[in-house]
Structure 1
Amino acid sequence: MKKNLFVAAMLLFSCSAIVNAQKLKKFGSSVEKKIGPKTIKVPYTDNISYLGYASPGNEDEVKDNKKFYYIYVWVPLAAPELGVRMVSPANGDKIKNAVKSADFDEHASTKDFFDTYITLERSDIVSADKVTTEGAKSANWVTLASNDDTSELPKQPSGSSYNSLLRYKSEVSNPTKALTAGLYRVGFTTYKRGEVKGTFLAEVAAPIKIPGVVMAKTIDELKAQMK
């Protein structure tokens, strides 16, 4: 009986954690505002969401002995700041207008999750007609920011704060660090070496409305959304 109660409790905890992972607060920017005794981060005004499933063997690149996966983002105008956050696991029930990977729904009920580690990378591709699969492979990619753990996001089913969030401000005076129009990607893996397996929600946000921002797992899918 004790064993059955323990199993039931663990299942309840795991399911609760997946649900809680969807109860995200509004994605706050780096700008802070004091309201009474509290100081809050002013929410981003533009936000795009992607629901996906990562599985072993489908990584896009092995870098620094880690298996990296990429989500591509087209940003048609310069931005003062970009925010990126990732939560795993994710069931997607309360995420409106999210782009979904082809296999997300199939795995949405699973309890697989991973210790997220994210990067925001910018390429030297600044023209829409240069966005091609081969172009992305040969592009010069610069890592602007990265993050491993944050207490700003819900905890994972393990009870650890292993979800990730970063905010990057454009440095207009430095061309190599400015958020210009162009092709970006969100890279993700695990902090520790190992397999990446589980559902996830990735979001990219900006403090101003930028018409035409799209996000997809592959360049072909991205181009289809850019039309």
Structure 2
Amino acid sequence: MKKTLKGIMVLGMTILSISQAEAQKLKKFGSSTEKKIGPKTVRVPYTDVVSYLGYAAQGNEDEIKDGKKFHYIYVWIPAAAPELGVRMVSPVGNMKIKNAIESQEYLDNKDSKDYFDTYITLERSDILKKEDISTEAVANANWVTLERNDDNSEMPKDPAGRKYNSLLRYKSEISDPLKALTVGLYRVGFTTYKKGQVSGTFLAEVAAPIKLPGVEMAKTIDALLEQIK
């Protein structure tokens, strides 16, 4: 009986390990363009993907908006784009991401088991030149929310087996200056769907269907300015 119980426990731990490993698998970031390959229809991968590894701590939010505790990652887009994709997964776990920007917060907490139910927004400011970027200018900028997402079935499951990670795609509307993807300062806002704490490691990616040399991502304006010098 003891051997049977032990075997059941080992099997349970093995299944849990497999489940957690599967939860960390991240497919190529597909754009809104679809292509027929035999009987299957697949998304054409984005050409340009910038990855950012971070850690969100409780009580370290940037803003409380609509009752939610929002954190921001600032993004400099150096050229007009026909489309932008944004996705976020938490926790990072054992995912291997090539050429990712690793924040110090992530490096200090990468072994953390904490994670959160991601909810993301893509926002564009009225700051169009990098020389106009400053902490004061960003605080007084006008921000337009272009798109948002809570749960996306294309994203991997979290360690609890729920598809609570987020992905959005936004196509530029050239006819509307407020909705066009122009050169300028953007930000990815993230929080949780419920009005709770945001705590855990995360991977955030911003992608485009064309090459955009010079895209930069940072958690603070000071760090962003260092990157775009």
**TM-score grouping bracket, smaller chain normalisation:** over 0.9
Distance in 1 (CA, whole Å) between partners of 2:8 and 2:160 is 19
* Residue 64 (structure 1) aligns with: 66
Shift of 1:94: 1.1
> CA-to-partner distance for each residue in 1:177-216, whole Å, 9 max, x for gaps?
0000000000000000110111110000000001110001
Query: What is residue 171 of structure 1 aligned with on the other side?
Result: 173
Structure 2 gap segments, 5+ residues each: none
Distance in 1, matches of 2:81 and 2:6, equals 54
> Measured at CA, do residues 93 and 87 of structure 1 come closer, stay the same or move farther in structure 2, by a change above 3 Å?
closer
Query: What are the ranges of 5 or more consecutive residues in structure 1 without an aligned counterpart?
Result: none
Q: Tell me whether 1:152 sits opposite 2:164 in the alignment.
A: no
| Aligned residues of 1:92 and 1:108 also touching (Cα < 8 A) | no
The CA distance in 1 between the partners of 2:107 and 2:12, in whole Å, is 26
Give 3-state SS (helix, strand or coil) of 1:177's partner.
coil
1:97 is the counterpart of 2:78: no
Q: Which amino acid aligns with 1:38?
A: K
Q: Paired residue for 1:122, among 110, 121, 124?
A: 124
Say which SS state the counterpart of residue 226 (structure 2) adopts: helix
3-state SS of the aligned residue for 1:120?
A: strand
- Partner-residue secondary structure (3-state), 1:103: helix
Q: Secondary structure at the match of 1:196?
A: coil
User: SS state of the match for residue 104, structure 2?
Assistant: coil
Distance in 1 between residues matched to 2:181 and 2:101, nearest whole Å:
23
Shift of 1:70: 0.2
TM-score norm. by structure 2 comes to 0.93
Q: Identity of aligned pairs, percent?
A: 66
Distance 2:186 2:37 in 1: 34
Measure, in 2, the Cα distance between the counterparts of 1:155 and 1:28: 17
Distance 2:200 2:160 in 1: 14
Secondary structure of the 2:201 match is: strand
Contact 1:73 1:186 in 2 (8 A): yes
Query: Per the alignment, do residues 95 and 44 of structure 1 end up closer, same or farther by CA in structure 2, a change over 3 Å counting?
Result: same
- In structure 2, what is the equivalent of residue 113 of structure 1? 115
Please tell me whether the aligned partners of residues 118 and 192 of structure 2 are also in contact (alpha carbons under 8 angstroms): yes
Tell me the C-alpha RMSD between the 2 structures.
Answer: 2.0
What pairs up with 1:166-205 in 2 under 5 angstroms? Answer: 166-205=168-207
For residue 139 of structure 1, report the CA deviation from its aligned partner. 0.4
TM-score, normalising length: structure 1? 0.93
The reply to whether residue 75 of structure 1 matches residue 77 of structure 2 is: yes
d(CA) in 2 for partners of 1:221 and 1:101? 10
Match of 1:35 in 2: 37
What do the CA deviations read for 1:28-68 (whole angstroms, capped 9, x no partner)?
00000000000000000000000011110100000001100
Q: How far is the alpha carbon of 1:20 from its aligned partner?
A: 3.3
Q: What does residue 48 of structure 2 align with? A: 46
Distance in 2 (CA, whole Å) between partners of 1:55 and 1:7 is: 34
The number of equivalent residue pairs is 226
Question: Which has the greater radius of gyration?
Answer: 2
